[in-house]
Structure 1
Amino acid sequence: MHKQVTNSHNSPQKRGRGLNNNQRFWWWMAFATSLVLLDQWTKQYFNTHLYYAERWNVLPFFDFTLLYNPGAAFSFLADGQGWQKWFFISIALGASALIITLLRKTPQQILFSLSMSLIMGGAIGNVLDRFQHGHVIDFLLFYWNNSYFPAFNVADICITCGAILMVLDEFLRLRKKKHEPKE
């Protein structure tokens, strides 16, 4: 009788598992951290290489620029008397705490976790600006003739893409639930 020896590292059970939920959670946290680092690096670059409101033309509809936004998206509440800084910081930190909890519970849900990581990375990137500078640094400017889209940054791109993916994830989840057989 020959006893078959199996390598526990190559067994079908081990190969099929991949990362456990704790490892997945930390992978999503590392991804969000890398987004924060990219956001902060790009903001630092443009903050040190451009004067305020200076523009570097890249394409006929796109410039790099340096603008400061004390408000939220589209300069919402930008004319506040300073209270909005702490309001936006509180919202971002609260949202990040909720996202960490959600990522801890569902790290295996790829699309949902990706959306949450993008939103958290963007939120933390903008919070760091508010703590360091009292405003958010924006440097991406799209326009056509005399019409301008508000300037934005990498953090804003992450938040926007994360929100879109979150809606897509919910749509796909509802669609799947609708097509499941009823018991």
Structure 2
Amino acid sequence: MRFAMLFWAGFWAFLLDQASKYLVVHWMGLVRLREIDVLPPLLNFRYGENRGINFGLLDSGSEAARWVLIGFSLAVCVAVFVWTLRRSAGHRMQLSAGLLIGGALGNVIDRLLYGYVLDFLNMSCCGINNPFVFNVGDVFIFAGAAGLILFEDRIADRRKKAP
């Protein structure tokens, strides 16, 4: 299978995102407790319902906005998948694309099931109190996007051709 790395990276990113949300939010009772200090201030669990995009942007709370964000996320997943196929991407690009797609699909499932994305991770450091929460899928989306930029083949081609 030519794109096995993309598939498995996406599968595991999706599964880890959904499992972590279930474990922390439901099994550990974060939905009821609202906050659990794990390694304060570095790592805390804080319950969050994100109806918008990053940092609550575009949070209108409307059903139309929910479906627009679902559609946009799915369009990005398809675009990244097709782009990766057309590039005949190597393993690092496939891994990056899979992480991005798996994380995005995890957030899509949340929007379909709950109407919002479940967030629970909160990290602060060095006297700075971070009020924002995120989830494991967001980490995979960020890592995947960074990987797509860092491992893009044209950059590697330019380095090879440089004198």
> Which of the five TM-score ranges fits, normalised by the shorter chain?
0.7 to 0.9
Match of 2:38 in 1: 58
- Shift of the 181–68 alpha-carbon distance from structure 1 to 2, 3 Å rule, reads closer
Residue 108 (structure 1) shift? 4.5
Q: Quick one: distance in 1 between partners of 2:145 and 2:69?
A: 17
Alignment of 1:121-160 (within 5 A): 121-144=102-125, 145=127, 147-160=129-142
| TM-score in terms of structure 2 length | 0.85
Q: 1:58 to 1:47 in 2, by over 3 A?
A: closer
Q: Equivalent of 1:105, from 83, 86, 89?
A: 86
Equivalent-residue separation in structure 2 for 1:164 and 1:149 (angstroms): 24
CA 1:74–1:109 in structure 2 vs 1: closer, same or farther (change >3 Å)?
Answer: same
Bigger Cα Rg: 1
1:90 aligns with 2:71: yes
C-alpha distance in structure 2 between counterparts of 1:46 and 1:101, whole Å:
34
Distance (Å, rounded) in 1 between the aligned partners of 2:146 and 2:131: 19
Match of 2:59 in 1: 78
Question: How many residue pairs align between the two structures?
Answer: 159
Deviation (angstroms), 1:161: 0.5
> What's the CA shift for 1:25?
1.1
Q: Which of 96, 101, 108 is matched with 1:120 structurally?
A: 101
**Unaligned stretches of 5+ in structure 2?**
none
Residues 1:101 and 1:87: Cα distance change in structure 2 (over 3 Å): same
Q: State TM-score, norm by structure 1.
A: 0.76
Computed over aligned residues only, the root mean square deviation of the Cα atoms, in angstroms, reads 2.3
2:6 is matched with which residue?
28
Higher mean displacement: 145-154 or 101-110: 101-110
Identity of aligned residues (%): 29
Q: Which has the higher contact order (CA 8 A, sep 6+)?
A: 2
Aligned-pair distance for 1:137? Answer: 0.4
Q: Runs of 5+ in structure 1 lacking a partner? A: 1-22
**2:48 aligned to which of 67, 74, 95:** 67
